[in-house]
Amino acid sequence: MKRPALFRTLAALAFTVPAVLVGAPAAHADPVSQTSGFYVNPQSSPASWAAANPGDGRAAAIRTAIAQKPMASWFGNWSGDIYGAVSRYVGAADAVDKLPLLVAYNIPGRDACGGHSGGGAGSVAAYDAWIASFAAAIGNRPAVVILEPDSLGDFNCMNQTKINERVGMLSRAANQFRTKAPHTWAYLDAGNPGWIDPATMAQRLNMAGVANAHGFSLNVSNYFTTGENSNHGNRIASELRRFGHNKPFVIDTSRNGNGSNGQWCNPAGRRLGTPTQMGGGAEMVLWLKTPGESDGNCGVGAGSTAGQFLPEVAYKMIYGY
């Protein structure tokens, strides 16, 4: 979508990021300066629930505090034709001059350690074809993509053959976005501050092709504070410079308002964090996990499945109880 020069100038001013947070110039054109803000999906699960339940006493709060905020949409083996699904979503954002946030979550052996979100593509070849279609569907339109949450943290639950396959898939995935989606910032996922130490994670990111990615992501679907993630991310970035990489990072702040209580699967008493924006302790802080969507059959989401929207959990997360 061609944008007037005034739009581009205003967007660039509104989304200026201090150079210290960005690191070296990105290989890709800046998708932020090409848009007028982040995309709010009118068909997200909290938006759809609020629209379908207007008489529910929780609906107004969920609509205002969650559904009207920019959040990522997740794509996986439930998405059907991935080219069509991604193209429609990115096209909807492009039509209103907004920047879409997408999460690719289809790596074979997905969630090897957690187990609640298992699945993924049926083979290495199937994944390679899937992610190639994902990148091609974005094409020249601006986007932000998070690649495969948990994939580099799960090594302790995998054998060496599976690790080697995964590193290869991630490296090829990063290259797909570099070559097919020149206005996309793609981030390899680097876990969270309570998982893998910075030196080890930097080694894994290097092996997984972070050279071809814009940067790395932290805290996806977790609860660690923004400050904890900023410190952790800066340490990973420092370690990455040993490999010759100067990479920025983003933080998932969707549910970190009260920090972590040591549990990751639907813990009680969590709260919304800072809404999606540039800066804030990283290149961007983003709502990547949709608040109110279950982590699985556990905690305050007992009896639910991963990804199911739970209005009572969402409502309590607004107020932190």
**What is the enclosing helix (H) or strand (E) of 180?**
helix 160-180
Residues β-bridged to residue 249: 216
User: Tokens 């969507």 label which residue?
Assistant: 293
Nearest to 46, CA basis, from 261, 272, 218: 272
Pairing of strands 277-278, 73-75: unpaired
Q: Angle at CA 132, nearest 5°, toward 254 and 175? A: 80
Residue 14's CB is within 10 A of a number of other CB atoms, namely 12
Within 8 A by CB and 6+ apart from 21, the residues are 248, 279, 282, 283
Contact 293, 45 (CB under 8 A): yes
Residue at token pair 């350690």: 113
Q: Measured between alpha carbons, how far is 185 from 187 in angstroms, rounded to an integer?
A: 7
**Beta-carbon neighbour count of residue 157 at 10 Å?**
14
- 150 is an active site residue: yes
Of 97, 150, 189, 252, the catalytic one is: 150
Which residues are marked as active site? Answer: 150
